[in-house]
Every structure is written in C-alpha cells, then in structure tokens.
Structure 1
C-alpha cells in the first residue's frame, strides 16, 4: 500500500482532534474562568531511504534521503492568560487580577455551630481543587462555597492554620478586600475579621489537569509555588509574592478569542479536506495498478 494513504489518515486524525479542541473552546466562550486549549502537531518518524555521507577527496557530501510518514498530535496546551473582567457589583463575585487560583476543599467536616466562625482544616486530609471561577455563595450555615458546594479555603484569624471561612448570622454586611481579608459588621456595628482568602500559585499552570466544573486538579508537573504561611507552604496571601489581587464585585470571563477560534476552525477544516484528497488520489493510483492486469 502507498505510504501517502497512511500519511493522509494520520493528518485527518490530527485535524479532527484540533476541531474537537476548537469546538470545546467555542462552547466555553462564556464560561466563567475558562482557559482555552491549543493544539500543536509534530511530524512522525521518517523512513530513511539512504543515509548521509561525508565529503571525500573526489566528491562532496550527500544528504540523507528520507520520506515522512505523516503527522501526529504534539500537545494540547492550556493557555492561562488573563480573561476579561465583567463587573457584577455582587460582593461574592470575585475576580483574580494576576497569577493564582482559588483553593476549594471538599470532604470537610464543617461544624454547624453558629458560634464557630472559622474551622481549621488539615489540607492533607481533604480534597483540594483549584479554579479561577470566582462566583461564590453562602450555604445555609454561612460558609463561603462555590457553585459545586466546595468550601473556599482561607486563613484562620486565630492564626497559623488554614481553614474555611464563615459569615455569622448576625452580620449586617460584609466585604472582601484586595488582599483577601473578609470583614463583616457585627450586631454592635463593629468591624470584625471573618478570615482571609488564600490562593495557590503555579509556575506551570498548564500542568494542571482539568476535571470539569471549572475546576483543576494538581499534578506532578504544575510547579506549585511555596511561601511562608505557617504549616501550609502551598498557600499564598493575595497581593504578595507576585500573586493576584482579589477584585470583589466582578468575575473573570473566558479567555477564548472567537476570531482566533473561527480562523483555526477554517484551517483545520481545509487541512482535513486536503488529507482526504491525498487518500482519494492514492486510491486512484492503486486502481490504475490493478487495471494494469486487464
């Protein structure tokens, strides 16, 4: 069989994957905190017909003669550039301006006692996930959670421990500062601190694994940055160590560029069509060879 036919099949498979990625990007153009994906390609191993030879006294050197065997998927990269900010004027809508991610914990034994504002957690015993989506809510016990019901991880004002943040029932109002400090007005009109939101920072955010629901999971290649939070070196205070500031009353939208995605979709479609033409042409050549016997 002709090598060109298998090269065409490899090309079609790659462009189909690219169309899958482009389609997912377009589907998430309005998804809060979504980071677009990008496909790259690599050539496959080439078949060497003859190797290179060095120059001699009577003739010059000769380059190797190789025939390529098609293309393959090189990588699918997650591009963690800053998305556009959309103002909502809702206190619990939080956008990150800069590097970093919110930290969310699940499987937390959160007390329902209204007198307990902050619950210290051992982050080695809970499931931690990360996200740029900052649409937060208060559950029935006053804890700050995300749309999936996972607890937002912060700093316990008692000191030294990570914890989950709770707004008391008698709070007249509350606010969130750029450094993550959550303040509330108590029943006597005094300003109190409910806790401080902490962030995670990664030197290679593209190494995080998408797990759906706007969430990411840590991997061995994410390059989590450590700092000096006592007992929890992976947690960073906002606006410190080059970490993002928190903007209350806004959301970070998707960083998908529709113009770029439509352009990529067109080029992928044409590339797919060109590879089908290679297969058609190879089939016609094979048909001519079969007809030689007639």
Structure 2
C-alpha cells in the first residue's frame, strides 16, 4: 500500500509544478514577447512482480506483471509560437514577424549578449538605442554616408547629426500652357522687346527694382511661376520663369506654336534681375531675360521632343560656389485649357537637422531630417537558433544561450532564416487563456484525485493496524 501513497505523492508534487507553470503563464498574459510554458509528465519506474515467459508446447506465454511507482516530470518546454501584433504606431516599437531574437548587451559589445522578443526600444540621452531596461541594442554600424558596414555593436543615433546641403543641378517643370494665348506679333503694335528698358515697349517692364507684365501685352503671357534653387551652402534662391507666346505657323506650313522662356532672379530684398546669356545676377540694363524657345506641335506636345533650354548659372551673394542647373521642360503641354506650369521637383536641398527616427522592416534605423531627407544610422541585427527551446530564461524578457540551444546565427532581418520586422508594433504574449484555464481544471482534478489516493491509502493502513484489536 505504500506504493500507492508514494505514487500519489509524486503526482501531487508534479501537478503542483504544472500549476506553477500555468500560473506563470496567466500572470504573463499581457507581457510583450512572452512565450508560454508547458509541462509534460512521464511514468516512473515499475516494480516487476513477475517476468514474461514465452510459449511452449504445453502452455502459452505469459505477460510480465508490473506495478507502477508513480509519475515523474518529463519536460518543461517553452513554446515559441508567434504572438499576435499589437499596433502602437510608435517609431521605435518593432516586432519580429517570424523566427529570430533581438540582441542586447550592457555595453553594446557582442560579449555577454542576451536575446529577447520584446522590441519596445528607446533612445537614451547619449543617443544609444536601448531596451526598456537600458541594455543597448546590437546591430550593424553605418558609416558617415549611411552605408551599412559588417561591424556589429550597439546602435547609436547621433542626436546632433546634420545632413549636408546639396546644390541644385536639375529642375523639372510640369503643367500646361493655354493654346489660346495671344501671339506677341499679332498685336496692332507689337512689343519692341520681351523685356523692355522703360523706354522701349516690352512684354515685361521695369517698375522700380522689379519687372512686371505690361498690361498691354498681358494676353501673351501664358504663365508666371517661381522655382527654388539651392546653392552649395544650402542657401535658397528664387527665380521667376515666364512663358510668352511669341510665334505661330499655320498651314500649309506645319502648324506650330513657339513660346519664349524668360527668367528673372529675385533677390532677398525683392529686387529682380533678368537673365543674361543664362547667368545671374546681371546689370538690368544689359539683360534681356530670354533663356530660349520651346515649340509645340498641333497635338499639344513638344515637337520635336527632347527640347532643351540653356543651362543657367547662379552666382550667390553668400559666398557659395556658382550653381549651374538645367531646367527640364519635356513634360509641358499646350492644350486649350488653363495654364498650370509649375516646378514639379528640384534635386537640391538645404542643411538638414535630425528631427526623428524610423525603423524599417529590414531593421534599418533611419534618421529623418528637417530638409525631408533621411539617412541610415544603423541596422538592427537578429539571431536565430537551431533549438530555441534550449534557451535559458533570464527574466526581464531576456534569454541566454546554452550548450543545447546551439550558437546564435546572426544576420540582417529578412536574410536567411531571420524574419522581417514589423515596425510600429509589439509582439504580445502567445498565452492562450482558454487553453490555460482548461489545463488548470485538468491539473486541479489530477491533484484532487491523487490526494484522494493518499486519503484512501491512509484509511486502508488504519484498517490494517486495527486488525490486532
């Protein structure tokens, strides 16, 4: 009878361990990156009362007779199934959408590394990307130009970083010029020039230190629009472009319309200087402002395509180098509709100050600058293991490697077996409350039944003792 009591005691002890694991699972139901635990049992050794015998000519074989001696703990497993994403939209929150672990360490080195699924990161006052406990996130470093290197270490965001300015080299124009604009040669008194000097009549006339459209020829000006040019020091300069319809041809010649492009530099004080041979600034008296002509065919498209106007040269007054840039006009059209020509883009940008951060699906940490540009500051590395179940829990959502987990296989997210990241989200616990409560009931019943075995065995022992009375 002592065998039954010992069996029940072993079951009570192991069911209590199972309940401990269930309790821990439920306690961590809202812990980010938590992986649920599981307990499995196995039977213990059995006492052989009689061995097995083989059949003979006179009698058949017999099976062994054994009495079990209870149960034992088989395993305590960590289940690494994917937890559901919790969208946070926070720039420094990130989850691993599949296999892998983030790597963190106290000093940012690859010695003493811990592994975690919790991606609620932050940036400390020195610019280190850190976990919620202040451990530095390990990743690949970036050079000054934003190129990822093969060097592993703590990722650091240079809070005082700037993005050097770049001078404009190309300007792209888009939009339409109204085909119903009047040709300058069709006026009763055609203008003497497109840019007058105050004495000779011009489509544009000086008015103080500016140039304005002469009302007498306003119907020839299809569009006035400003473009912005950046110099090598990041200074911004405004240039006004004007499109004036200057000629047409009619059948039997091929129908065509010619527009002359004028340019005026607008100074900081608002004064204007027209272009002279493609250069700025120039003495107004010597300037004609004309950059060149563009010709449209009867289909409203440039004919021939691929037309260009001369390269412009701007000489800034702030000490920056001369800026030479081209204006691409090949997207312009001429239809019977409102004139809408505008600057679609230019490839220069001023000095940028670091204003924010973002983490990409491949783990790249991007710095966002005030000039609209971004630069790669580093790339988070992840690690996978051949046997993640062999990792040792260290508390604080951390794991440590063991001899049975295998070596960490470090790579960039999305490379090899390392899964991509999901920015702006955190991985929730993979605890299934319904399953845990079911396991709790089953465990409770197992504990209760085995406690009953002890009670009944105790009563049987009591009856045995009472035989002497």
TM-score exceeds 0.5: yes
Q: Of residues 413, 429, 434 in structure 2, which corresponds to 1:259?
A: 434
Structure 2 matches for 1:120-199, cutoff 5 A? 121=109, 123=110, 126-158=111-143, 159-170=149-160, 171-186=354-369, 189-199=372-382
CA contact (8 A) 2:83 2:430 kept: yes
CA distance in 2, matches of 1:44, 1:235: 41
Shift of 1:183: 1.1
Cross-structure match for 2:106? 106
Shift of 1:86: 0.4
Quick check: which has more Rg, 1 or 2?
2
Compare relative contact order (CA 8 Å, sep 6+) and give the higher one, 1 or 2: 1
Root mean square deviation of aligned Cα: 1.3
Q: Segments of 4+ in structure 1 off by > 3 A?
A: 186-190
TM-score (norm 2): 0.56
TM-score (norm 1): 0.89
Cross-structure match for 2:294? none
Cross-structure match for 1:51? 51
CA distance in 1, matches of 2:79, 2:31: 15
CA distance in 1, matches of 2:413, 2:107: 25
Task: Give the number of aligned pairs.
Answer: 271
Q: Between 1-10 and 134-143, report the one with greater CA deviation.
A: 1-10
| Pair 1:71-2:71 in alignment | yes
CA contact (8 A) 1:200 1:224 kept: no
Cross-structure match for 1:228? none
Deviations 1:99-118 (A, max 9, x none): 0000001134xxxxxxxxxx
CA distance in 1, matches of 2:464, 2:434: 46
Deviations 1:167-200 (A, max 9, x none): 2214112211111111113465432110111000
CA distance in 1, matches of 2:107, 2:373: 33
CA distance in 2, matches of 1:131, 1:283: 49
Gaps in structure 1 of 5+ consecutive residues: 109-120, 226-233
CA distance in 2, matches of 1:274, 1:168: 63
Answer 1 or 2: which has greater helix percent: 1
Cross-structure match for 2:35? 35
CA distance in 2, matches of 1:29, 1:11: 27
CA contact (8 A) 1:178 1:246 kept: yes
Cross-structure match for 1:23? 23
Answer 1 or 2: which has greater strand percent: 2
Shift of 1:245: 1.0
CA distance in 1, matches of 2:368, 2:396: 33
